Amino acid sequence: MADDSFSQVIFSFENNFDFNGNLIWIQTYWKLSFLSVAIYLLLIYFGQRWMKSRCAFELRTALVVWNLSLAVFSIAGSCRILPQMLAYVHNDGFENTVCDGSRIKDNGIVSFWSWYFMLSKVVELGDTAFIVLRKQKLVFLHWYHHVTVLIYTWYSTQQIIPNARWFILMNIMVHSAMYSYYAFKAMKFKIPQSVAMTITTAQMLQMVGGLYINWRAYSAISSGRHCDTGMWNIQMSLLMYASYWLLFAYFFYNSYMKKPSRPKTA
With beta carbons less than 8 A apart as the criterion, state whether 113 and 164 touch: no
**Both ends of the chain: CA-CA distance in Å?**
72
145 has catalytic annotation: yes
CA-to-CA distance for 128 and 136, rounded, in angstroms? 10
**Which residue out of 142, 145, 146, 175 is catalytically annotated?**
145
DSSP string, the chain: ---GGG--PPPHHHHT--HHHHHHHHHHHTTHHHHHHHHHHHHHHHHHHHHTTSPPP--HHHHHHHHHHHHHHHHHHHHHHHHHHHHHHHHH-HHHHHH--TTGGG-HHHHHHHHHHHHHHHHTTHHHHHHHHTT----HHHHHHHHHHHHHHHHHHHHT-TTHHHHHHHHHHHHHHHHHHHHHHHTT----HHHHHHHHHHHHHHHHHHHHHHHHHHHHHHTT---SS-HHHHHHHHHHHHHHHHHHHHHHIIIIISPPPPPP--
Active site residues: 145
